[in-house]
Structure 1
Amino acid sequence: MLNFFRSIRSSLMQEGKTGKYLKYALGEIILVTIGILIALQVNNWNEERKRQEEFALTIEQIYNVLEVEIQELLFIEYHSFQQNLYLDTLYNHQELLSPAMIPGILNYQEAEPSPFKTSIGFLLQNLKVKPGNTTEILLARDLTEYASFANLDFNRSEKLIKELLLAETIPTPDLIFGIGLNQGFLEMPGVFSETQILKSQAMITRPEVRAALIKAAVLHDSYSAEAFHIRELGEKLKGEIKKQFPQVKLLYENLGLVGDGSPNKDWGTDVPLVKISDEPSIWEAEIELVGGPVKFRENQTWNRNWGGRTFPEGHMDWQGPNIQVPAGKYRVILNLTEKTYEFQPLNP
């Protein structure tokens, strides 16, 4: 291109008046060429800016998916561990348990987590990485690895304990993993007769029952370990995203308090909380509570809900137990970044 312009310039210098017109034409060509080059550069810049914005948006969505999945995995870890705590007591220190709880605990040993399947796969399809950008390439690689690894299907091939209970004509109600424990369903008045309770006590000493309990303990440990490894990877990725994209934030909405202890005295009508800040994600409300159990949830559904084990403050447990709150007026504060709650009493 440069040689072309030089040859035209040389011709113009040799051709007198005609060269003036050619010189003018050359100037027009140069201006048009420069305009095209500038337009191409601006278009490339706009396209790259759009790509960066879409990349950051997708990364924020992935960040929020990881946020939820980490809580789900912690739930699996915690309740698998709790199953083994009950199993250990049943196996080694039966005398510490209320006899009425033993049939329920035996049934609960074979309660299993719901299958865990990550949701970031669809989002990864929209992640457009810039060629040569090592940081983006490595992040996309690690996220893809998580997506291929983060799938757990909990399915026992046999239910040995329930078979043994049925052989003794002891009922085997389905107890939902985690929920059964959180809601205190292990002791079920009226479900088991006194004779059935005594039979379940006697079963613990039988070799086949003890062997089934040991097998259950091994499975609980494996479930907990699998969930731990995936959660560890998810937390690492979540931290890496926050480091590379500090502007990402948690995208919770419509947080509310619900329960018999709320002003509405039911589990269907939420008292809304107000978002105070994005980072950290703080939600608050001043609420006159009638006293009793309450929980927190998002969008007035139970898809995302949290309970707790202590009052007036504590850790938000994913699908956790009801929080028992005395009657009174409180400033309720949720920190969804740290997963904490607090009920601050207000003067009447």
Structure 2
Amino acid sequence: MIKFFRKIRQNLLIENKTRKYFKYAIGEIILVVIGILIALQINNWNENNKQKTKEKAILENLRTSLENDISTHHFHIQVYEEAKSSIQFLIEFIEKDYQYQDSLKYHFGRTTHLWNPSIRLEIFENLKSIGFDIVSNKDLKQEILRYYSYANTDFVTSKNRYDDIITNANSNIFNTRFKAFWNGNYDLFRKTGIPNDLEIEMIPNDFESLKKDDEYLFFLRSLKNQHYWFAERNNLNAKKIAENLLLMVNQELEKNKND
């Protein structure tokens, strides 16, 4: 093709048709420019397709991670709901001056629940290394940043504060008032691996003295409030944000599928 155009130019110059030569040269330049633009367009199209494929893979992985997070949040909401119920039950039981029952050991145990809630950060770290611009939807990108910012700040701070409350109580309160911290049916739990099969129990040394123990009662009543702020509220917020983000991810994947 190049030889063909060169031959035409040479013939025009030999025949001294300068005006026609310049017209032809301009036309040839235009054709070259158009060819370059088409090539660039095809290259851009290919790059966009690659980016969309990469974005789709990331969003699908994010969806799986969020589904796991939501399941984890749901579990922790349930077990901490049990803890809240046991805290309230013990406060009322002691205030009404009831006599000790063997089932109380499970309520004492549940007040110390620490199931270590967590948010998976692998996808977020992967996104950081790739660059958040891979997510084309700006609103979705902001919601991703919001969720993982919450995971790294408020969520982990609240979790650690509640962990510290229970851990400190073990060293300063439970150690002088109960026979042991976190006794339980671990043999059954080891066999099944099912969290609900693990019944934590704590037996008081002297229940009648415990009912009049101002320090312990202050701890228990305060724990009810701390439980709300650092455990219950924390897991509910995390689940709500994760569910909203998952909805946006599903909508984006559906939109991309239809494009």
TM-score by length of 1: 0.55
Structure number with the bigger relative contact order (C-alpha 8 A, sep ≥ 6) is: 2
Given that 2:86 and 2:108 are in contact with CA atoms closer than 8 Å, whether structure 1 keeps it comes out as no
Q: Which has the higher helix share?
A: 2
Q: Tell me, yes or no, if structure 1 residue 215 matches structure 2 residue 222.
A: yes
1:69 CA displacement? 0.9
Q: Which amino acid aligns with 2:75?
A: F
CA separation of 1:221/1:227 partners in 2, compared to 1, >3 Å: closer, same or farther?
A: same
Q: Hey, what does 2:3 align to over in structure 1?
A: none
CA-to-partner distance for each residue in 1:182-225, whole Å, 9 max, x for gaps?
114235xxxx8xxx656246523422222111122222212110
Q: Aligned equivalents of 2:93 and 2:235: distance in 1?
A: 28
Find the counterpart in structure 1 of residue 114 from structure 2: 112
Aligned pair in 2 of structure 1 residues 96, 32: CA closer, same or farther (>3 Å)? farther
Q: Secondary structure at the match of 1:113?
A: coil
Q: 1:226 aligns with which of 230, 234, 240?
A: 234
Partner Cα separation in structure 1 for residue 147 and residue 54 of structure 2 = 21
Q: 1:184 to 1:97 in 2, by over 3 A?
A: farther
Match of 2:126?
123
Identity %: 22
Is the Cα contact below 8 Å between 1:76 and 1:227 reproduced in 2? yes
2:78 maps to 78
Deviation for aligned residue 1:122: 1.3
Distance change in 2, residues 1:42/1:98 (3 Å): farther
Larger radius of gyration: 2
Q: Higher strand share goes to which structure? A: 1
Pairwise CA distance, 1:34: 1.5
Provide the C-alpha distance between the structure 1 equivalents of 2:115 and 2:83, rounded to a whole number of angstroms.
Answer: 11
| SS at 1:145 equivalent | helix
Instruction: Name the counterpart of 1:167.
Output: 176
Say whether residues 1:68 and 2:68 are aligned partners: yes
Offset of residue 97 of structure 1: 9.7
Per-residue CA shift, 1:37-77, capped at 9, x if unaligned? 10011111111121122112211211111111111112222
Per-residue CA distance 1:6-65 (angstroms, 9 max, x = gap):
xxxxxx9xx952444444444433322221110011111111121122112211211111
Read off the aligned partner of 1:203 and give its amino acid letter. Answer: L
Change (3 A) 1:247 1:32: closer
2:213 counterpart (203, 206, 210): 206
Alignment partner of 1:124: what SS?
Answer: helix
Conservation of the 8 A alpha-carbon contact between 1:63 and 1:241: yes
The separation in 2 between residues aligned to 1:22 and 1:106, in whole angstroms, is: 97
Q: Deviations over 1:106-135 (max 9, x none)?
A: 24322323152441421332355379x6xx
**TM-score by structure 2 length?**
0.71
Equivalent pair of 1:78/1:224 in contact (CA under 8 Å): no
> Counterparts of 1:81 and 1:19 in 2: how far apart (Å)?
90
The one-letter code sitting in structure 2 at the alignment partner of 1:186 is I
Any unmatched runs of 5+ in structure 2? 1-11, 186-192
Counterpart CA distance in 2 for 1:173 and 1:180 is 17
Change (3 A) 1:96 1:77: farther
Aligned residues: 225
The letter of the residue matching 2:233 is A
Please, which of 102, 105, 110 is the counterpart of residue 104 of structure 2?
A: 102
